[in-house]
Amino acid sequence: MNPIELDVRNLKITFSTPQGNLTAVNDLSFQLYKGETLALVGESGCGKTVSALSILRLLPEPPAKITNGEIIYSGKNLLTMAPNQLRKIRGEEIAMIFQDPMTSLNPVLTIGEQLSETLLQHKNLNKKEALLQSVQLLGKVELASPEEKLKQYPHQFSGGMRQRVMIAMALACEPKILIADEPTTALDVLIQAQILELLEHLKKESGMSMLLITHDFGVVTEVAERVMVMYAGDEVETGPTNSLLSNPNHPYTKGLISSRPQLGKTRNKDHRLIEIPGNVPHLNQRPSGCTFHPRCNWVMDHCKTQKPHSKNLENNLKFSCHLDPGSL
């Protein structure tokens, strides 16, 4: 396997609220290998975005607080790094694209100004050179007539085009790691397919690693080599995409996969979609034992009191459930 690019160890994040300190991410550890795409999957409220934001220290602190853990990037712990050092890594070595391209671009600045801002910040360029490089970047994300686009404003762009601009901004300094937080959720299917293809292509070209956050297993199959499923702040299952999809070991993973209607599966009238009953628990109502037990169809007595340990299987598979592997 490739060398580790990013190593997250025992990360714990809490939020201080009037109801006390609530744990959003609970003892999370994962590794991102060089050149791979790792997908973080789970419903809203499972801690995916919070974990990703903490890597670049973008969480509002307070109320958020990283109470434990290390995030190691090229030998250094990002969590203890001085702000000015961190600023060099943000955007230059680790970049991020956000879910909603409508709100993450500045509406009163031209595309050119916004793109060259990143370049001016991190590279030793003058304005002219920065604009020249911006043109190349827009060409790289396959936008037509890039020179003209530089002078335009975000409102003149469609959602897909804006997301391309966001990608161009993220890739401006050729980062080693790209964090993509639901990059296609706000887009139409046709545009989603185009953006995923573009990301895949750019990733191959530059050899960067990608941490992709999504709630859609369909998107996962398109781009990710490995998947980590999160539930209520815990890692519940991790493994290579193919084996995880065909043989999920955790009931939550299985639920997420089978609750999505699949194209072309012959539908008979009495076949219902398999649903996961209930909702993700609120942070202040975290269930005892296995946090998933109130929604689990395979729940046993000891699930309610004992938190399952993480089990390692061959082939880099890992899951936390009291059930034996292969029993679903």
Judged by CB under 8 A, the number of residues near another protein is 40
Sheet of 209-214: strand order equals 94-97, 177-181, 209-214, 37-41, 226-231, 234-240, 318-320, 310-312
Chosen residue from 257, 283, 290, 321 binding another protein by CB under 8 A: 257
Distance CA 225, CA 241 (A): 5
Under rule CB under 8 A, residue 277 binds another protein: yes
HSE of 90 in the Cβ direction (CA atoms, 13 Å)? 17
* Interface positions, 25-64, toward another protein (CB under 8 A): 43-44
User: Least distance from C-beta 272 to another protein, angstroms?
Assistant: 5
Residue 222 in the binding site for another protein (CB under 8 A): yes
Nearest partner of 231 among 188, 190, 278, 281, judged by Cα? 281
Q: Which stretch binds another protein (CB under 8 A): 15-23, 66-74, 89-97, 265-273?
A: 265-273
Q: How far is the CB of 295 from another protein (least distance, A)?
A: 9
Query: According to CB under 8 A, which one of 177, 219, 224, 228 is a site residue for another protein?
Result: 219
Q: Which stretch binds another protein (CB under 8 A): 19-27, 115-123, 174-182, 260-268?
A: 260-268
Binding of residue 146 to another protein (CB under 8 A): no
Residue choice 97, 131, 166, 276 for contact with another protein (CB under 8 A): 276
The candidate with the shortest Cα–Cα distance to 206, out of 226, 177, 241, is 177
Task: Check residue 86 for interaction with another protein (CB under 8 A).
Answer: no
Residue placing its CB nearer to another protein in the complex, 56 or 141:
141
Residue among 182, 180, 231 nearest 24 (CA): 231
| Reduced 3-state DSSP string for 183-225 | CCCCCCHHHHHHHHHHHHHHHHHHCCEEEEEECCHHHHHHHCC
- Look-up: residue for tokens 């299952």? 237
Residue from the set 34, 76, 215, 286 that interacts with another protein by CB under 8 A: 215
Q: Tell me which residues touch another protein (CB under 8 A).
A: 43-44, 158, 160-161, 188-194, 196, 215-219, 221-222, 245, 255-257, 259-267, 272-277, 279
